[in-house]
Amino acid sequence: MEQIYRLEQIHKHFGDNHVLRGIDLDIRRGENLVILGGSGSGKSVMLKLLVGLLTADKGKIYFDGNDITQLPEKGYYPIRTRVSYLFQGGALFDSMNVYQNLAYPLKAHTDMSSQDILAQVKDALKKVGLEEIEHLFPGSLSGGMMKRVALARAIINQPELILYDEPTTGLDPLTTHTINELIRKMQKDLQISSVIVTHDMPTVYRCADRLAFLDEGCMVFIGTIEQARQSTHPKLRAYFQGDDRV
Amino acid sequence: MGIHCRYRKGLLTCRADSTPKYVGHMYSRIFQNLGQIVILTFEFAQCLVTRRPQFKEWMRQFHHIGVQSLSITNITALFTGMVLALQAAYALSAFGADVFIGDLVSLSIVRELGPVLTALLVGGRVGAGITAELGTMKATQQLDAMRSMATNPVYRLVVPRLVACIICLPLLTILANFIGIIGGLFIASFELQVDGHFFMSRVMQALSVNDVASGLGKTFFFGYFIGIIACHNGMRVESGAEGVGQATTQTVVSASIVILISDFFLTKLFIMIT
Ligand SMILES: Nc1ncnc2c1ncn2[C@@H]1O[C@H](COP(=O)(O)OP(=O)(O)OP(=O)(O)O)[C@@H](O)[C@H]1O
Ligand SMILES: [Mg+2]
């Protein structure tokens, strides 16, 4: 399968905190890659490196075969219009209402009419199971609703790849199910690939084509779910063991 | 002295820098900030020249920064004018020079107190507001979200705010000057029994175009300083509420000091060129 991203020996420090210690990873077109890993293991940092919100200290990142490790800010713009990022905390603009939040990427990069934008916004909200909340501000939404609005904002401009930082954390099982189905559906119907950072096993089972496990800054496992089940790595086993007991 | 404490594995260790190291550190931080401010200014100018203005957002900022500052700047100007008239009468009567109350009040206000007090008040009110807003956006990753959608936070956030600061401050100052003189007139005629017409004729005689221009000229710079310091401090907030609080305090302190110091040099410059 064709690669979208290739990471080679990526290192990232913050002061003396050595967060990523030599990551090698492929992200392939058309597949859903799930990244597991303990809290603080550097998952969010890794996603940010992919779109240039942070830059790696060492190693190389290739996007579509081009080296994008150290670009000026503007150099990342073409990538960022093709790759969406769902932030762990949602990162909705709290001075804008839900409609304005969702319309933001559309207004910035297309010249759609306001009617078309409104239709797109309603459509995106419906996909994540929300309706009639266009006029509300993020401050008056529940945590789960915020997460879903942020998700709607990430999918609204139909990118090639979506980076999800914990898309289902804190959501009820039914909504989680809706979101998992949505991720799968977008992959099938629109060929949108996904990188999903999660701790949710249902999401892993439903969405993952491949699984990567990040531990103490290293990728200790990359493979299919079946291979992950067979893995002898104690921390990775813990994810699946808990499941077997049920 | 700089004291660094760190808590690790249940142990709190504190270490004090030696004075030279601390001073060195302080200067390097100042230069680093100056460099970042210069870069931000270039980015601002670039966005202003090359990109379509977002007039709607500009208007919103004019309202926040200009209109909503009217009450505090006007009240301050009014009472400053009033107290100046009192003080002038007290000082000048010793020499039997009460007739110059109008001169003293108008010159002090138009050349110095109108611009500087307005700038200090706006620096406190607006500067703190901008830093808190941008700082919160930074801490909650809204700035990163803007960047991740291939949009430029400088164009979206800094340009409208800085433009509003640079344009609103002179306008607020014009009004403050006017109201300050009215305050002086009020006290002169009701407290000090100076004829109102006489007071105003003294004001008109005392003030030259130069006085007004040198007073207002400074305010464009003050507006720029307030806006750029506030935006810079907001956008470099690292962590949550505490970081936002510190940055906000820093803005008010830095803006005030920069206004007062630059006031001296700008005044000197204007005196030299006229
Ligand atoms: N901007 C930053 N400055 C300094 N340190 C950072 C920064 N971002 C992340 N870190 C550090 O990097 C490490 C990894 O953080 P990261 O957010 O990637 O964790 P994570 O794997 O996403 O965890 P979680 O599952 O809790 O979200 C943490 O120790 C964190 O303190
Ligand atoms: Mg994270």
ipTM of the complex: 0.91
pLDDT by residue for chain B (274 residues), tens digit each? Answer: 567 777 777 777 777 777 778 888 888 888 999 999 999 999 999 999 999 999 999 999 999 999 999 999 999 999 999 999 999 988 888 887 778 889 999 999 999 999 999 999 999 999 999 999 999 999 999 999 999 999 999 999 999 999 999 999 999 999 999 999 999 999 999 888 888 899 999 999 999 999 999 999 999 999 999 999 999 999 999 888 899 999 999 999 999 999 999 999 999 999 898 7
Partner-chain contact A94 B150, CB within 8 Å: no
Q: Which residues pair with A194 in a beta bridge?
A: A32, A162
Determine whether the shortest distance from the Cβ of A217 to ligand 1 is under 6 A: no
How many Å apart are CA A3 and CA A14, to the nearest integer?
29
Partner residue opposite A53 with nearest CB, options B133, B144, B151: B144
How many Å apart are CA B258 and CA B227, to the nearest integer?
12
Put simply, whether B39 touches A (Cβ < 8 Å) is: no
Residue A103 token pair: 């319309």
The pLDDT tens digits of the residues spanning A44-84 come to: 999 999 999 999 999 999 999 899 999 999 999 999 999 99
Within-domain flag for B61: yes
**Domain with B269 in it:** 53-273
Residue A178 binned pLDDT confidence (cut-offs 50, 70, 90): confident
Determine whether the shortest distance from the Cβ of A14 to ligand 1 is under 6 A: yes
Put simply, whether A76 touches B (Cβ < 8 Å) is: yes
Collect all residues with Cβ–Cβ distance below 8 Å to A146 and sequence separation of at least 6.
Answer: A90, A92, A138
**Rounded distance from Cα A55 to ligand 1 centre (Å):** 14
Within-domain flag for B11: no
SS3 A157: coil
Instruction: Kindly report the number of other CB atoms within 10 A of residue B272's CB atom.
Output: 7
Q: How many domains does chain B have?
A: 1
Helix, strand, coil percentages in chain B from 3-state DSSP, rounded to 5? 85, 5, 10
Residues of chain A contacting residue B149, judged by C-beta atoms under 8 Å apart: 80, 84, 104-105, 108
* Short-list B203, B204, B176, CA closest to B112: B176
Determine whether the shortest distance from the Cβ of A88 to ligand 1 is under 6 A: yes
pLDDT of residue A80: 94
Within-domain flag for B121: yes
What's the pTM? 0.89
The pLDDT tens digits of the residues spanning B175-212 come to: 999 999 999 999 999 888 888 899 999 999 999 999 99
Within-domain flag for B170: yes
Within-domain flag for B22: no
Determine whether the shortest distance from the Cβ of A178 to ligand 1 is under 6 A: no
| Choices 3.40.718.10, 3.90.850.10, 3.40.50.300, 3.90.1150.10: CATH for A3-240 | 3.40.50.300
Determine whether the shortest distance from the Cβ of A45 to ligand 1 is under 6 A: yes
**Rounded distance from Cα A127 to ligand 2 centre (Å):** 24
* Short-list B101, B92, B75, B87, CA closest to B198: B101
Residue of chain B with shortest Cα separation from A85: B148
* Short-list B219, B227, B274, B234, CA closest to B255: B227
Put simply, whether B25 touches A (Cβ < 8 Å) is: no
The residues spanned by each domain of chain A are 3-240
Instruction: Kindly report the number of other CB atoms within 10 A of residue B59's CB atom.
Output: 12
How many Å apart are CA A92 and CA B149, to the nearest integer?
12
SS3 A171: coil
Residue B90 token pair: 């007290």
The pLDDT tens digits of the residues spanning A182-223 come to: 888 888 888 899 999 998 888 999 899 999 999 888 898 999
pLDDT of residue A11: 93
- Cβ pair A59, A10 in contact under 8 A: yes
How many Å apart are CA A98 and CA B212, to the nearest integer?
47
How many Å apart are CA B157 and CA B47, to the nearest integer?
11
Partner-chain contact B147 A84, CB within 8 Å: no
How far apart are the CA of A103 and the nearest CA of chain B, in angstroms? 12
List phi, psi (to 5°) of B39.
Answer: -65, -45
Residues of chain A contacting residue B142, judged by C-beta atoms under 8 Å apart: 91-94
**Rounded distance from Cα A42 to ligand 1 centre (Å):** 5
Within-domain flag for B21: no
pLDDT of residue A242: 61
- Cβ pair A33, A213 in contact under 8 A: no
Average per-residue pLDDT for chain A: 90
Partner-chain contact A92 B144, CB within 8 Å: no
The pLDDT tens digits of the residues spanning A12-27 come to: 999 889 999 989 999 9
* B contact residues 119-158, partner A, Cβ 8 Å cutoff: 133, 137, 140-142, 144-152
Put simply, whether B239 touches A (Cβ < 8 Å) is: no
What would the DSSP string read from start to end of A71-140? Answer: --GGGGHHHHHHEEEE-TT----TTS-HHHHHHHHHHHH----HHHHHHHHHHHHHHTT--S-TT--GGG
Within-domain flag for B119: yes
How many Å apart are CA B46 and CA B50, to the nearest integer?
6
Return the amino acid letter for B162: L
Within-domain flag for B38: no
- Cβ pair A9, A23 in contact under 8 A: yes
